[in-house]
Amino acid sequence: MSTLTTLAADIELAWWQQTTLRSLGVMIAVLIPAGTLVYVFLFKMMSFMQSRLGPMEAGPYGSLQLLAEVGKFIQKEDIIPWRADRKLFAFAPYVVIASVFMIYLVVPFGPDAYFVDFDTGIFWALAVSSVSVIGILIAGWSSANKYSLLGGLRAAGQLIAYELPMVLAVVGVVIQAGTLNMQGIVAAQAEGEIFGFGGIGNPFVLTQGIGFLIFLIAMQAELTQTPFDMPIAESELVSGYMTEYSGLRFLLFFIGEFASAGAFAAVAATLFLGGWAIPGVDLDADWMNVVGPLVLVAKMMLVAFLVFWVRFTYPRFREDQLQQLAWKILIPLSLVNILATMALKVAF
Amino acid sequence: MTVTERQQRAYVDAQAADMRVAVELETDEGMTLNLGPQHPATHGTLRVIARLDGEQVVWADISPGYMHRGYEKLCEVRTYPQVTTLVNRIDWLGSFANEVPFILASEQLMGIEAPPRARYIRTILFEMARVANIVLFLGDLGVQLGAVTPAFYAFRDREHVLDQIESVTGGRFHPNFDRIGGLKDDLPKGWIADTKAVMQRMRMFCDEIEDLLFGNEIFEARTRGVGVIPADVALSYGLSGANARGSGIDWDLRRDTDVGLAHNEVDWRVWTHPDGDSFARCWVRLQETREATKIIDQLCDGLPGGPIMAKVPRIIKVPEGEAYVATENPLGEMGYYIISKGDIGPFRVKIRSASFSNVSVLPWLLRGVYVPDIITILASLYFILGDIDR
Amino acid sequence: MSDATTTEATGTPEAEAGDAAAGAEQPTAPADEQREAMLATLTAALGDRVVGSHVVPGRELWVRVAREAWVEAAETAKLKLGCTFFDFLSAIDWMPSPWGRYEYSALDLEGGIPRPDPTAEIATGYAGGDTRFQVFSRLLNVRQQHSVMLKADLPDDDLRVASLVPLYGGANWHERECWEMFGITFDGHPSLRHLYLPGAFEGHPLRKDFPLLARLVKPWPGIVDVEPMPQTDDEAEGDTPDGNGSGAENEGDA
């Protein structure tokens, strides 16, 4: 956060104090969306869709349920299976969580409200999102459980397969924006024009509609949500790669799942819906540092709503059908999308 | 060796001796995966042992019996009315339907015919058991395939059927209502109107499920072509009910035999599907549920008056003889072969339960399928553990 | 009758072979003739190995065959009578149970648990029978809706019979259950092992001389815990064991 940095420089905070503040800031920035997503979508929206109320006891309308669950998980016994590889078993959840945190680093919340502003922001985001695959594989292998192994292997295949459509969908966005920088992409959408009409800017969801859909589907698969939840597959593999995890480690996976849903939703909102900017508002205004995060969170909730809505409705694909969808349908489609974007970009 | 290692070794040895199948943890030829006995996909304690090559099943074996309660032995020490209570619990989701063939067989041996009103109400409750059972199947089908939401709709709407059953018989799950010669009680006031409203609601539920689940492309991709059972294999393994009709066999015991229920007096049709895959079986069950609601409506409309119980002696002694009566239960053909020696209780009861034969086809069927398809096949064959294990 | 029989089955495949039995329209009057015709077919195929038969008109046909002809009888039923549906297979133990209905306490038995009397006359059922154990199976023709119940006697000292697994795949599990419950060996069965019972189980539970242990351990009807019924007001004064009187008028010393 650059304003905070300048502020901190004025107050003469030591470097370690600044780092602590920044780390706390990242934790809050990551955990609050995760908690909100869990409450709104998992506890309430899912329940309402299933014609029931959901948690109502802990706090008003069950809002503190997640807090209660966190407390419950933290105080549980630390169980590691007898034959499991202890070090790897303990290590896996942290890999997944680390990958999620790293995605949040490059998401801009406002003109000056960001953690890091890489020139290759979106490239970084896509790269580190693949780190969680390693974590899942480690979890599946080290659990010494055949169900976990099956889940981990399925996850490896699926997550790697769906990286490609995601990347290719983003390529279309990058071509249109002309930059890999996340702030640059936000600016391109806010100040761009659709065939000469500049009233609402150029939110890429309109001009890159196919890319948006591909990105959503690939995102669903990257999050291992139904209909792509073969790695978890609750009715077959009990919990897939998470079967043997309990207590704090399971909590890390659980929070990681929703935090990464938030992270991907934020990235999608930035890439396609315009990020923290509102069309017609000055991009450098200082008060956008306060309003921007709210706008981004609203757009993030919208994307997350789509993700979870599909999750609670559809049955799941079989592994080979999943792969067929990725390789035979999504990748060719995204390549066509790139060609079309290039052609139109050059022509106009 | 530490204590835990010894215990673990002993456990593995016991399991191996149990099945006479060596339970290897890792081999070169493939991995042995144990689905069950505790597993979300086997409706109860059924153990499926599958040897996998990657994700494909090389061979599979089924080990039932974790719920074996010894029904046939228990029936030998009970009197005829006591058997009704016992027998409710074989197929516990459509439990009235379990009592019916036994009562009909006893009535056949005694030469008693239940009065028409009792016959009609028996058929109504029989079909309601079918509706309750299959509605849960439809909800559970979604869960097995990953769609968690239809299950809640199924349970919510099924409650209404159970409420109706409870208001007549006093029990939601185990009515224990059928008696030799008739029924225990008559219908309460206003029951018929309520039931027709409930049946209308079930029809709406069936439409909802058809939209939500059967119209879904992912569902079709998961179930079409999966677990195809040709008709001759189905017959030789004794598959009955929707499993047989899903393979194109046009056979329904309600239409084809006259055992003493009132199906012949209403207008309904039998649904078959030629494909023989999981989709066919599930689809046939959906249509049957709709058909059952129509049957109930027609029976409610034409309900005759009269007594609810024929004249039977207080202590029921069934004369000597043997009889076999089978009815089209929600799960398939369920029959009781009663051997009576003129005593107050049966001499031998052979219970022919539908799921026993349905599940026996699994070792043949599961060769070469993928692991997710095992779940689909188990879901579409639809068995209840109490029915397999008796 | 109704028009419920007119169904348009969507493309029922002609999968059964050898449908030579007489087609029946209504299952009432010609049922006897139909079943007699079936019996005649079986007798023609098996000759004098059909040892007994019984027909309940309109209901069922029982045919008892010699043990050696068990598979051939099933084959005749499958090919000549079109009974391709394997309903079930099980066994009957005709000996009356030495414990009756267990309506006594085992502790009250003088002389211990009674042993079965091997010389006692065993009464068998339809289609006769000479031995204690009989194996029986029902085969069904789903096109013409007729069925045949085959029975075969098994001598006490040689409880074996040929397996029907080569003919019907479904016989596999039924025969396994029969073996573990009665001790009847099926020659030619691919793997005769326990189905329901754990591997180390000793004994054959459905035999009549295998006791129902629960009833021996705890006598029937067990502890009878009956709450006293609430009595009417006139009788209740001073009589109700629990303190709650049934109504305000009950001023008695409850």
Which tokens belong to A123?
């490239």
pLDDT tops 60 at residue C13: no
Query: Mean pLDDT across the stretch B204-228?
Result: 89
Q: Between these two residues, A189 and B29, which has the higher pLDDT value?
A: A189
Choose the closest CB to C199 out of B18, B231, B364: B18
| Alpha carbons B368 and A143: distance in angstroms, whole number | 27
Pairwise CB contact (< 8 Å): B264 & C2: yes
Q: How far B148 CA lies from chain C's nearest CA (Å)? A: 32
pLDDT tops 90 at residue A23: no
Task: Put residue C222 in one of left, alpha, beta given phi > 0 → left and psi -120 to 50 → alpha.
Answer: left
- Relative orientation angle of helices A248-268 and A209-222, to the nearest 10 degrees: 180
pLDDT confidence of residue B10:
66
Q: Which residue has the tokens 């209780």?
A: B345
Instruction: Count chain A–chain B contacts defined by CB atoms under 8 A.
Output: 81
pLDDT category of residue C30 using cuts at 50, 70 and 90: low
Q: CA-based angle C232:C234:C239, to the nearest 5?
A: 75
pLDDT category of residue C9 using cuts at 50, 70 and 90: very low
Which tokens belong to A152?
């981990």
* Chains C and A contact (Cβ–Cβ under 8 Å for 3 or more pairs): no
pLDDT tops 80 at residue C234: no
Pairwise CB contact (< 8 Å): B372 & A52: no
Pairwise CB contact (< 8 Å): A146 & B33: yes
Query: Mean pLDDT across the stretch B226-254?
Result: 90
Calculate the average pLDDT of chain C: 74
Residue C199: closest CA among chain B residues belongs to which residue? B18
Q: Between these two residues, B22 and A158, which has the higher pLDDT value?
A: A158
Q: Is B70 helix (H, G, I), strand (E, B) or coil?
A: coil
Choose the closest CB to B371 out of A236, A238, A316: A236
| Alpha carbons A5 and A22: distance in angstroms, whole number | 10
Q: CA-based angle B294:B300:B303, to the nearest 5?
A: 135
Domains observed in chain B: 71-358 (1.10.645.10)
pLDDT category of residue C252 using cuts at 50, 70 and 90: very low
- In this structure, of C68-82, C91-105, C140-154, the range with the lowest mean pLDDT score is C91-105
pTM: predicted TM-score of the whole model, two decimal places: 0.83
pLDDT confidence of residue B28:
58
pLDDT tops 70 at residue C235: no
Of the candidates B379, B337, B386, the one whose C-alpha atom is nearest the C-alpha of residue B138 is B379
Pairwise CB contact (< 8 Å): B148 & A50: yes
pLDDT confidence of residue A305:
92
* Chains C and B contact (Cβ–Cβ under 8 Å for 3 or more pairs): yes
pLDDT tops 50 at residue B34: yes
Q: Between these two residues, B164 and A151, which has the higher pLDDT value?
A: B164
Query: Mean pLDDT across the stretch A244-271?
Result: 89
Calculate the average pLDDT of chain A: 85
CB atoms within 10 A of CB B258: 15
Whether A314 contacts chain B with CB within 8 A? yes
Choose the closest CB to B146 out of A49, A82, A235: A235
Q: Between these two residues, C157 and A282, which has the higher pLDDT value?
A: C157
Mean pLDDT is highest, among B24-28, B291-295, B309-313, for: B291-295
Q: Which residue has the tokens 């499920």?
A: B209
- Note the pLDDT tens digit of each residue in A64-95: 888 898 899 999 988 888 888 888 899 999 99
- Note the pLDDT tens digit of each residue in C78-125: 998 889 999 999 999 888 887 777 765 555 555 565 555 656 667 777
Whether B258 contacts chain C with CB within 8 A? yes
Q: Between these two residues, C248 and A152, which has the higher pLDDT value?
A: A152
Whether B274 contacts chain C with CB within 8 A? yes
| Alpha carbons C182 and B255: distance in angstroms, whole number | 35
| Alpha carbons A25 and C185: distance in angstroms, whole number | 75
Choose the closest CB to B146 out of A147, A150, A227: A227
Pairwise CB contact (< 8 Å): B323 & C59: yes
Query: Mean pLDDT across the stretch B299-313?
Result: 90
Q: What is the DSSP string of A220-271?
A: HHHTT-TTS-TTT-HHHHTTGGGTT--THHHHHHHHHHHHHHHHHHHHHIII
Q: What are phi and psi of A14, to 5 degrees?
A: -65, 160
Pairwise CB contact (< 8 Å): A235 & B156: no
pLDDT confidence of residue B14:
60
Choose the closest CB to B145 out of A52, A146, A316: A316
pLDDT tops 80 at residue A198: no
CB atoms within 10 A of CB A289: 18
Alpha-carbon separation of residue A209 from A21, A277, A286 (angstroms) = 39, 19, 31
Choose the closest CB to B149 out of A49, A236, A321: A49
| Alpha carbons B81 and B178: distance in angstroms, whole number | 9
Query: Mean pLDDT across the stretch B178-194?
Result: 90
Alpha-carbon separation of residue A10 from A14, A18, A24, A289, C210 (angstroms) = 11, 12, 20, 19, 93
> Residue B354 corresponds to which amino acid?
A
Q: Is B266 helix (H, G, I), strand (E, B) or coil?
A: coil
Cα Rg, chain A, nearest whole Å: 21
Of the candidates B146, B281, B137, B275, the one whose C-alpha atom is nearest the C-alpha of residue B216 is B146
Query: Mean pLDDT across the stretch B328-349?
Result: 90
- In this structure, of A286-295, A320-329, B59-68, the range with the lowest mean pLDDT score is A286-295
CB atoms within 10 A of CB B63: 19
The structural domains of chain C, with segments of one domain joined by +, span: 29-219
pLDDT confidence of residue C116:
57
Q: In this structure, are residues A271 and A215 in contact, taking their beta carbons and an 8 Å threshold?
A: yes
Interface of B with A (CB under 8 A): 4, 8, 31, 33-34, 39-41, 55, 142-149, 152-153, 156, 212-213, 216, 218-219, 221-222, 370-375
Choose the closest CB to B20 out of C92, C193, C205: C193
* Chain A contact set for B55 (CB, 8 A): 150, 319
pLDDT confidence of residue C254:
35
C29-219 domain in CATH 3.30.470.10?
no
Pairwise CB contact (< 8 Å): C125 & B321: yes
**Disruptive mutation site among C87, C213, C215 for chain B (greatest number of B CBs within 10 Å):** C87
ipTM above threshold 0.95: no
pLDDT confidence of residue B12:
64
**Disruptive mutation site among B12, B75, B360 for chain C (greatest number of C CBs within 10 Å):** B360
Query: Mean pLDDT across the stretch B248-256?
Result: 89
- Note the pLDDT tens digit of each residue in A117-126: 888 889 999 9
Q: Which residues contact A76 (CB under 8 A, 6 or more apart)?
A: A246, A247, A248
| Alpha carbons C43 and C18: distance in angstroms, whole number | 18
Query: Mean pLDDT across the stretch C147-152?
Result: 91
| Alpha carbons B78 and A155: distance in angstroms, whole number | 55
pLDDT tops 70 at residue A6: no
pLDDT category of residue C1 using cuts at 50, 70 and 90: very low
pLDDT confidence of residue B105:
92
| Alpha carbons B286 and B209: distance in angstroms, whole number | 9
Secondary structure element (H or E) that encloses residue B374, with its range: helix B371-381
pLDDT confidence of residue C248:
39
Residue C101: closest CA among chain B residues belongs to which residue? B77
- Note the pLDDT tens digit of each residue in B72-121: 999 888 888 889 888 989 988 888 999 999 999 999 999 889 999 999 99
Secondary structure element (H or E) that encloses residue C60, with its range: strand C60-65
Calculate the average pLDDT of chain B: 87
Alpha-carbon separation of residue A52 from A12, A45, A310, B163, C25 (angstroms) = 54, 10, 18, 19, 53
pLDDT confidence of residue A236:
65
- Relative orientation angle of helices A15-37 and A288-313, to the nearest 10 degrees: 40
pLDDT confidence of residue B336:
94
- Stretch 328-387 of chain B: residues touching chain C, C-beta under 8 Å: 333, 335, 337, 339, 341, 345, 347-348, 350, 352, 356-357, 360-361, 364
pLDDT tops 80 at residue A282: no
Pairwise CB contact (< 8 Å): C15 & B235: yes
- Note the pLDDT tens digit of each residue in A30-70: 888 888 888 888 888 889 988 888 888 888 888 888 889 88
pLDDT tops 60 at residue A304: yes
Q: What is the DSSP string of C111-158?
A: TSSPPP-TTSPPP--TT--SSSEEEEEEEEETTTTEEEEEEEEE-TT-
pLDDT category of residue A146 using cuts at 50, 70 and 90: confident
Q: How far B32 CA lies from chain A's nearest CA (Å)? A: 9
Report cis status (omega within 30 of 0) of the bond before B230: no
HEC secondary structure over C88-106: EEEEEECCCCCCCCCCCCH
pLDDT tops 90 at residue A168: yes
Pairwise CB contact (< 8 Å): A318 & B156: no
Whether C222 contacts chain B with CB within 8 A? no
| Alpha carbons B39 and B48: distance in angstroms, whole number | 10
pLDDT confidence of residue C2:
35
Alpha-carbon separation of residue A240 from A96, A108, B180 (angstroms) = 15, 34, 51
